[in-house]
Structure 1
């Protein structure tokens, strides 16, 4: 089954602007925030909650999970295009923020990630490989 070309990007951060980053298992050295494609029948909020839990083991219940009302449309990297339908070239990403009171230990999904790190927001923005991820992190101080 092909992926739906609609995804979420969830910036998990603390009140003092520490940002959680995950290192991709399929591309070591590529760091990112929580991301994932929408499943059929899901709302964007449900997708964000599911992806946070699958990728970190954290339940977003009890924390502030906010739709930032930012959409990014980008061309899907060639190396990952096989996951989508034959004529799909673009994805629409919806940005969310999840605010935690402090840094937490997480449980990464070994299938998807190799490691995780908490960094101050400026350093996190420099470390991520995706332009839209960096822009969302740089927007963080205005969001809290």
Structure 2
């Protein structure tokens, strides 16, 4: 029986939103009542952050970045980095002594009617909410803060009216 390797303390946070700035939130399966955007850690140290986003969004929502409906240009690196203390309940997933994670924030614009297919081991349900309501629902302060920045960063998506 092999143990999983420790998680890499570098992750992405992907704020998935519609053109009308509705935000997709997911309820954690391991913590019912905890709502969040798509998040996930690098699988390898050399995995590019964009690849981490593509993989995590596909795994958690079924959305394929790079498809006709969701072109690569709709994924935007907001250039924000959050360094935060890893919640003690999740520290066992990391190497001994690792207490902080660096989270890289991205935005992803998708059509509001994009089909969502949740990973049942990770999430119980999803909801689309106006951005202010979504920020209020996020359990993570850094996630809430990122959602509150959505109006500023959404205009960076090519073809988005400003």
| Both structures adopt the same fold (TM-score exceeding 0.5) | yes
Alignment RMSD: 0.8
Cα distance, 1:17 vs structure 2: 0.4
Length, aligned pairs only: 144
Q: Where does structure 1 differ by over 6 angstroms across 4 or more consecutive aligned residues?
A: none
CA contact (8 A) 2:13 2:106 kept: yes
Conserved 8 A contact 1:20-1:116: yes
Ranges in structure 1 where 5+ consecutive residues have no aligned partner: none
Show the counterpart of 1:53: 58
User: Displacement, 1:39?
Assistant: 1.1
List alignment gaps of at least 5 residues for structure 2.
Answer: 155-162
* 1:60 shift after superposition: 1.1
Asked if structure 2 preserves the Cα contact closer than 8 Å seen for 1:103 and 1:118, the reply is no
Cα drift, residue 119 of structure 1: 0.5
Q: Deviations over 1:52-96 (max 9, x none)?
A: 000000001133001100000000000000000001000000000
Query: What TM-score do you get using the length of structure 2 for normalisation?
Result: 0.87
CA distance in 1, matches of 2:82, 2:60: 21
Q: In terms of Rg, which structure is larger?
A: 2
Give the distance between the partners of 2:9 and 2:77, measured in 1 at CA: 18
TM-score, normalised via structure 1 length: 0.98
Answering whether residue 32 of structure 2 is matched by residue 28 of structure 1, we say yes
1:78-93 alignment, distance < 5 Å: 78-93=88-103
- Look up the SS of the partner of 2:60 in the other structure: helix
More strand by share: 1
